[in-house]
Chain A
Amino acid sequence: MNEEKACGPHMGKSYSYRELPIGATSLGIHEDVIKTGTWRTLRPAFRVKTSPCNEGCPAGVDVRGFITLMKQGLMSEAYKLYVEENPFPAVCGRVCYHPCENACNRRDFDQAVGINALERFLADFPAPVGKESPGSGKQAAVIGSGPAGMSCAYYLARLGHHVVIFEALNVIGGLLRSGIPGYRLPEEVLEKEIEKLTILGVQFKTNCPVTKELWGELEAFDAIVLAHGASEHLSLPFVSPSEGGVGILSGLDFLRRVNLAGEVSLGRRVAVIGGGNTAIDAARVSLRLGAAPTILYRRSRAEMPAFDSEIEEALKEGVEILFLTSPVAIERIESGQRIRCIKNRMGHRDESGRPSPVPVEGSDFFVEVDTIISAIGEICDLSFLPQGIDFSHQSVRVNELGATTRRGVFACGDAIDQPRSVVHAIGSGKRAAIAIDGYLKDQTDAAIMSDLVIGQRGGLSFKHYLEGASDVWSKKVVHFQDLNPDYFQYKARYARPKVPKESRTGFEEVYGNLALEEALGEAQRCFSCGLCDHCGNCYIFCPDGSVLEQEKGTLNLINYEYCKGCGICANECPIGIIEMEKEG
């Protein structure tokens, strides 16, 4: 062929029909005519977006990231990624109420990915974690060895600071040890998690309750962390101090005694007052000790603050719950004691947003009991706090980085005003560690915080703190409407095996673990919202051949000289990673 003429019809010349190439073709790219990119008004851009599970995790765990590695069978790598944001997968895989699953986009398709089960599975593939920097020469004191304090200590140690944890009890673990029953979190599992801190050089001082005297000793540290938790129980308002204590146990005390000392004598009839996790734990533990527990809760099931799955299991195991029931008095009778109760109806919403219980006149009734366990809530004992550290409503006041009103003093966990969950404690411990590291390096809060915040629910990324966020990372959270579910297939989730309720007599774990193929199958259910898994749709669908496929792990590129901005790539992307952004 005539290659000169084959370069397409030159608009400035007038070739005859015989001189033109056959087939309306041109060799090479005819620049004047076909740079279709100039037609574009919107430009597609590949972004690594934030997944809703990641946002949903108060500890900022990169859920999508670790599941992506699990899909490939890279368990140790997945573990390493996990413990960047949360040191305790074995704990959270058992006791976390998994708000990540509530956020999972798959919930709107069939069922949320079993993130908690995968977490539990992953915990059996531990990989060693090292320090990010050599010794900084700085020392931090952490008060309390619960999940918040240990999390904070873990990150401080990784950042090269020397950490001493002061623990009031003679055992380490705080509420994880004393408050969570063994059928939810076996002791040896906790031990393994604590070992991580020992390996990182964290020093523990047990039997060290913080008093005003000890506080003086702490002043020598470069930073102090208040992670003492909320270990004081609220007293029942209708029990006068003089008669309090007789036949009445506090929920936390009861759990602590069972966990640390073994048997507690309860009798057969046990009434647990309250609707939180402590109440449920106390009821299920007393059941295991041979009692027949009844929970008295003043509102209805929907308002119960305990985790739903726990309530479910308690009911299955045979715990009786009397809803809309308020105890009003304890009366001594021959056979022991009885609680005078009154039935409630639901009234107007109170400041907690829940309908308030209104007593129904004349509905009094009695519940005869051997033991009463009071679990109506816990508060912090802040009597040791020195001047200058503000608190309100029995919680230490902190700023968005967990710093108290006194320089160098930080707080996390149940000591501050935040939801009382293990994962919130872990997340706030991490946040305090990052804040302390920044404080010790004289950084401003804004500098520390930039690029750390995952979504809008307070989770922070330690990985981003260490490495900075990638250029293509977008804070935008991918929601279900951003996905193209035509590409997904319905698949039921793999349930963890459970010990049948008839066999739950002792304190062995109720939930089992997924088998390998189940875990891999469950991991495959993850849509990978906002992270390219190289399905190739954008490349296949692009009518202009303008999507330039890159190797797995690298985002595809767009040839903007030819991309007309039609948006088909964004539309056909199953996982919503392509943003149509305004041109110019």
Chain B
Amino acid sequence: MAPGNDNGQRLMLTGNYAAAYGAKLARAEAIPVYPITPQTTVMEKIIELIREGELDAEYLPMESEHSVMAAAIAAEATGVRVFTASSSQGIAYMHENLFVASGLRLPIVMALANRCIGPPISIYPDHMDSLDQRDTGWIQYYVEDAQEIVDTVVQSYKVAEHPEVLLPVLVCYEGLIISHFLEPVELPSQEVVDQFLPPYGPEHVLLRPEKVMHLSVTVNDRYYMEYRYQQQEAMEKAKGVIKAVDHEFGQTFGRAYGGVLQSYCMEDAEIAILSMGSLCGLARMAVDELRKEGMPVGSLKLRVFRPFPQQEIEEATRNLKLLVVLDRDASVGMGGILYAEIAGSLYHLVSKPIMVNYIVGLGGRVVTLKDLKALTTEAVEKTAEGKIDKPVRWFGVRGLE
């Protein structure tokens, strides 16, 4: 089939609706969700699709996010495809069950409309709620628009359910900025998605009355590390699977997203801006403008945070002099989480770029093109002066010089 010619529909969708349509196209069968802003309209759309007969799934109203994840785990363990969605304190409340889902190797897919963590309470976005869950063993995608959401939800199932992966997936997108704004979306046709994504048929974890299976066995020190390493290996293999699935998706639907790390104008770049989610589009615009001014700059979109694309970042930054890392998050007491991870993953290299970390856009603080140009220019100047006094810089905080 020719790329982009899959007889799909073109619709105006919010990011949340795109997530719901992604679940529909993936034929999710069990969908436990507990409402929380800004995710709630994912849940509402799902219920609407079920009510109108467009989606043949069981919506499970639960009394909390913790129970949502428990229900998701139980449903997935019976061999059905599970979808859920959450935000902010909601996913924080799921925390311990997130480990259960990944430890039991259950390929659940969750849409996460990123929202900052309170207090203070705010419904505006940053990436803290999902980065906070980085060690729970879930694959984490960060996407930048409604189109990428629907495509990534479909891709996610194919990745998650891959026999060499079998891990749950978070598809993260900033709340309000992406979740609530309407964008034109090419909706792939169901038949083609069905060919792309076969039904889920697990063997490894499957509760059925005729064959008793015990989930979450108790082990001692003889086995715990082996089980953890199984997950590590699955994460490592997932990277290849993510790339292959994205590539195959591109071949089928005409849209691909660069696998785990997407480059823009990086061929001859000496400077790069690395970011995730909605900031990436802005970063590309800044690159275009700064290039006009003669700055040899490119940008990197970190699409997959777990498994962390260490190898890919190493290769992409090999010829850089300066890497500006934008974090829409802050591990208070340290700095940007992305920055720390990237710095750590490049530290073994003899030759590596200088890194400057900007903490931007927390709690939905607007980041403008002017801001990006200004902070990139500042980083370039500081590097040229040879005095990076503060590698972690909180951008735009009033009262802070």
Contacts and interface: CB of A to CB of B under 8 A. Distances in A.
Whether chains A and B associate is yes
Interface of A: 1, 8-9, 11, 14-17, 20-30, 33-34
Nearest to A19: B226
Contacts of B211: 27
Contacts of A1: 203-204
17 contacts: A8-B217, A9-B222, A16-B226, A17-B225, A20-B230, A23-B105, A23-B204, A24-B104, A24-B217, A25-B215, A25-B216, A26-B213, A28-B214, A29-B212, A30-B217, A33-B218, A34-B218
B106 interface: yes
A95 to B, nearest CB: 50
A14 B106 CA distance: 25
A34 B212 CA distance: 13
B194 interface: no
Nearest to A22: B204
B220 to A, nearest CB: 7
A22 B230 contact: yes
Contact of B205 (A8, A22, A30, A33): A22
A8 B229 CA distance: 17
B218 A17 contact: no
A17 B104 contact: no
B334 interface: no
A45 to B, nearest CB: 26
Kindly list the 9 A-B residue pairs having the minimum CB-CB distance in the complex, ordered from nearest: A23-B105, A17-B226, A22-B204, A23-B205, A9-B223, A17-B229, A26-B214, A23-B104, A33-B218
Contacts of A20: 223, 226-227, 230
A29 B217 CA distance: 10
A8 to B, nearest CB: 5
B226 A33 contact: no
Nearest to B166: A22
A23 B166 CA distance: 9
B103 interface: yes
A33 to B, nearest CB: 5
Interface of B: 103-106, 166, 203-205, 211-220, 222-223, 225-227, 229-230, 233
Contacts of A28: 212-214
Which of A25, A26, A27, A30 gathers most chain B CB within 10 Å?
Answer: A25
Contacts of B103: 23-24
Contacts of B225: 17
B116 to A, nearest CB: 34
Interface majority SS (helix, strand, loop, mixed), chain B: loop
Which of B203, B212, B227 gathers most chain A CB within 10 Å?
Answer: B227
B40 to A, nearest CB: 28
A570 B149 CA distance: 47
A11 B217 contact: no
B217 A9 contact: yes
A25 B230 contact: no
B214 A34 contact: yes
A25 B226 contact: no
B268 to A, nearest CB: 43
Given A24-B104, A29-B214, A34-B217, 12 more contacts: A11-B220, A15-B223, A17-B233, A23-B103, A23-B104, A24-B216, A24-B219, A25-B204, A25-B213, A25-B214, A27-B212, A33-B217
Which of A1, A20, A22 gathers most chain B CB within 10 Å?
Answer: A22
Contact of B227 (A24, A30, A33): A24
Contacts of B105: 22-24
Contacts of B222: 9, 11, 14
A354 B174 CA distance: 77
A236 to B, nearest CB: 70
Contact of B213 (A11, A27, A33): A27
A489 to B, nearest CB: 19
A29 B212 CA distance: 7
Contact of B104 (A11, A25, A26, A30): A25
B219 A9 contact: yes
A23 B106 CA distance: 8
A9 B104 CA distance: 15
Contacts of B216: 24-25
A23 B219 CA distance: 13
A25 B226 CA distance: 13
Given A9-B217, A16-B226, A17-B233, A25 B212 contact: no
A486 B106 CA distance: 35
A388 B217 CA distance: 77
Contacts of A23: 103-106, 166, 204-205, 215
A15 B230 CA distance: 12
Contacts of A26: 213-214, 217
Contacts of A24: 103-105, 215-217, 219, 227
Contacts of A27: 211-214
Given A9-B219, A26-B217, A15 B226 contact: yes
A8 B213 CA distance: 10
Contacts of B218: 33-34
A549 B211 CA distance: 20
B97 to A, nearest CB: 14
A21 B104 CA distance: 10
A25 B73 CA distance: 14
A546 to B, nearest CB: 14
Nearest to A3: B211
A43 B203 CA distance: 36
A27 B211 CA distance: 8
A22 B215 CA distance: 10
A402 B229 CA distance: 79
Contacts of B217: 8-9, 24-26, 30, 33-34
B231 to A, nearest CB: 10
A33 B222 CA distance: 14
A15 B103 CA distance: 18
B227 A17 contact: yes
A147 to B, nearest CB: 54
Contacts of B212: 27-29
Nearest to B204: A22
Which of A16, A17, A27 gathers most chain B CB within 10 Å?
Answer: A17
A21 B223 contact: no
